Amino acid sequence: MMGNSIELSEDNGSRFCGKTIPEEIVIHIFLYVPVKDLIRSATHVCKYWHHLLTQYHFWFTRMQVEGYKLSETTKQRLLEETNETLVLRALQSVCGNYLHLNKNLILNPSGIDGFQHWMVRHGGDKMIVEDTPTGSDLIPEEAGLPTQHCFVTSYIASSRCQVVNLEHLGLDPCVIDILRPEIHISEWVSARWDCHSKSTIAVLLKGADDTQQVDITWNSRTDDVICRQWYKATAD
């Protein structure tokens, strides 16, 4: 972190039209400047602005303005980290929404683009995509899908597989390690009115030195399932 003794001179970014602008005001303005402009431009303008923009406090406040909330454990982990560059990068990534947080990381999740982005193994009469479910109700709004498309399997199991590479999405592994964002896994499933259905979601979470597997199974023969209806199969 830079020292506190920043000299106020004519051109140090705290003066505007000959008047000195109080620090709180400069910070307040920064709270509403797009994050990418703060990182790419503002921080290079002068030492004073750089100093303001390398304070953790500024980024924590910015996070509040953006409506993001870190858990106490994450906050603690950030405050205990000695690599300040890493902490700043993590905070800026959250503020600038560079982390694909609160987003579905699965591409073409319901088949609007056919089988694009999926590796498919067909069984029986093959897996197909329907643009509206046949023999099942409409997919509920709660599923958050922009369309009624859905993948439909046949009388023998089919499978589809997709690899999500966080690094290819532009996520710095160090930032992911320190923030440890939660990963939620779920799928909306249904059995049509005239036959039963089973589904298994198998997720392999591959880290640099550790792999974890999560399996979620759903079976319409189990008691509570009503055919035609949609269910959210989830790990929680």
The nearest distance, CB 48 to ligand NAG, in angstroms, is 24
Residues 6+ apart with CB under 8 A from 56: 78, 79, 87, 88, 91
The nearest distance, CB 176 to ligand NAG, in angstroms, is 11
Q: Site for ligand NAG (CB under 6 A): which residue of 47, 50, 77, 89?
A: 89
Q: Site for ligand NAG (CB under 6 A): which residue of 26, 46, 63, 86?
A: 86
Token reading at 124: 């029986």
Segment interacting with ligand NAG, rule: CB under 6 A, options 30-38, 83-91, 153-161, 186-194:
83-91
Query: How far is the C-alpha of 35 from the C-alpha of 233, rounded, in Å?
Result: 36
How far, in whole angstroms, is CA 68 from its chain's centroid? Answer: 12
Pinpoint the alpha helices (H) of 23-155. Answer: 23-30, 35-40, 47-53, 56-66, 72-80, 84-95
Applying the rule CB under 6 A, the residues between 160 and 219 that interact with ligand NAG are 172, 174
Segment interacting with ligand NAG, rule: CB under 6 A, options 32-40, 69-77, 80-88, 131-139:
80-88
Segment interacting with ligand NAG, rule: CB under 6 A, options 18-26, 82-90, 124-132, 145-153:
82-90
Segment interacting with ligand NAG, rule: CB under 6 A, options 11-19, 24-32, 81-89, 106-114:
81-89
The nearest distance, CB 41 to ligand NAG, in angstroms, is 20
Query: How far is the C-alpha of 233 from the C-alpha of 220, rounded, in Å?
Result: 11
Q: What angle do CA 35, 66, 179 make, to 5 degrees?
A: 80
